[in-house]
Amino acid sequence: MDSYIVVLAGFGAVVLLTAWLPMLLKELPLSLPIVCVGLGVVLFSIPQIPGVAPHPQEHLAITERLTEFVVLIALMGAGLKLDRPLAWASCALTWRLLGVAMPLTIAALAVLAHLLLGLGAATAILLGAALAPTDPVLASDVQVGPPGEGLEDEVRFTLTSEAGLNDGLAFPFVNLAIALALATQTGEPWLLHWFTVDVIWKLAAGLAVGWVVGRFLGWLTFRLPNRARLSRTGDGFVALGITCLAYGLTEMAHGYGFLAVFVAALGLRSVERNHEYHEKLHDFVEQLERLFMMVLLVIFGGAIADGGLFRALSLEAVVFALATIFLVRPLSGWLSLMGRDQRRDEKAVISFFGIRGLGSAYYLAYALGHAKFEAPDLLWSTTGLIVLISILLHGTTVTPVMRYLDRQRQNRGEAVDAWCPVEPGPSGTPAAPRPESV
């Protein structure tokens, strides 16, 4: 049997499932990622089907680029979803998760990796940095709804904005691990260069280039005279162009492209926040993200079944994985939210849903391709197990948990959409607020 024909037929099946499965799973305590991983495990376990599920360590460049692309698409989608401006005063929970929970998570995971897995400083920091960010790809079920459709309560908004920003903000810690690993081989000083370049410059470049690109393309899309206004095209694939342009220009400026893509989406929304064209951009991005996510998760399932992804697992790695999911992220998230006037159940949900996914695989592949780290098979096995546990645990709990929160708000007489933007009326005068969804 020709492998190409099998792959082609399999890809067609994945495309159809991408469209059909979300509707079938909507009322079930299951998620699309769970089905994708299960499908990969089944397919690659059938001996009659030709093909190979390689270990990611054997194809670092391909793993890095594929996971990079799907994360970029997810970051654009997350930014386009947000109706509320990402202001300092109105996003206190987000800033606490980014400024307190993420560094605490990285530090705790690095210490655990050293104590439980016996990893050196550089490798332990790498594992902590790769696992700290919540994943924008697999976290769609806990995120806000499409542009203008509501479902932007504090929990959903916080988890969406956190997933959009922490992928870029984790990069300095990944580069810290790389700098330490290289310094052990060369003995050259690294601290000043890391702080000035990898922290200050790259973060500033990501923010600046992303905002300029988003605002400029927003002006071209919404502010040109009507005959030349780009929004009149109605083409959703423009979002892909914005994503690639923001990322490419930022990387040319040696900044963090992940951060730039999310900021570019925010900048685009800020030019004309309530235009219906945002829905078309978001719909295209969501479809593209879902398709690539399914393909990669089927491959992930194949790597589990036939690629030896878990070949380096040990009891200590299993304990580390369970501690990551059930202890480190929930405790770090809870500590970061202390002192905030927020309901305890909402704090618990925000702290618990620290979903790990394809972003962790990207960071691991990126770092292993730029420096030599000890026990790469152990890193992949541990990360793969954590991602699998997160997919299964969070995928089965997200639907009932979010419905519980919505019922609680409804019983208290609160709107599910806690933020209601004011639609501009004719001649620029404020019009009535958009109806709140309940």
Query: Tens digit of pLDDT for each residue in 21-61?
Result: 777 766 666 677 888 888 888 888 877 665 566 788 888 99
Q: Is 3-414 a CATH 3.40.50.620 domain? A: no
Q: Quick one: what percent of the chain has pLDDT higher than 70?
A: 86
Model pTM greater than 0.75?
A: yes
Top pLDDT among 342 and 70 is at 70
Q: Which two tokens stand for residue 191?
A: 């601290």
Q: What is the mean pLDDT of the chain?
A: 84
User: Do 377 and 89 touch, CB atoms closer than 8 A?
Assistant: no
Sign of torsion over alpha carbons 168, 284, 235, 266: negative
The answer to whether 79 and 260 have CB atoms below 8 angstroms apart is: no
Q: Are 182 and 233 in contact (CB under 8 A)?
A: no
d(CA 118, CA 116): 6
- Mean pLDDT comparison of 130-134, 140-144, 215-219, 363-367, highest-scoring range: 363-367
Q: Is pLDDT at 277 greater than 60 in this prediction?
A: yes
Q: Is the pLDDT of residue 370 over 80?
A: yes
* Higher pLDDT, residue 308 or 120: 120
424 beta partners: 430
Grade residue 434 by pLDDT with cuts at 50, 70 and 90.
very low
pLDDT of residue 432: 38
Residues across the chain: 438
Q: Percent of the chain scored above 90 by pLDDT?
A: 40
Name the pairing type of β-strands 430-433 and 422-424: antiparallel
pLDDT surpasses 90 at 357: no
Query: pLDDT (tens digit, 9 = 90+) per residue, 191-216?
Result: 999 999 999 999 999 999 999 999 99
Both structure tokens of 149: 């459709």
Parse the chain into domains and list their residue ranges: 3-414
Give the list of residues 6+ apart from residue 349 with CB closer than 8 angstroms, or none: 155, 401, 402, 405
- Given a contact cutoff of 8 angstroms between Cβ atoms, the answer to whether 145 and 81 are in contact is yes
Look at residue 383 in the predicted model and tell me its pLDDT: 95
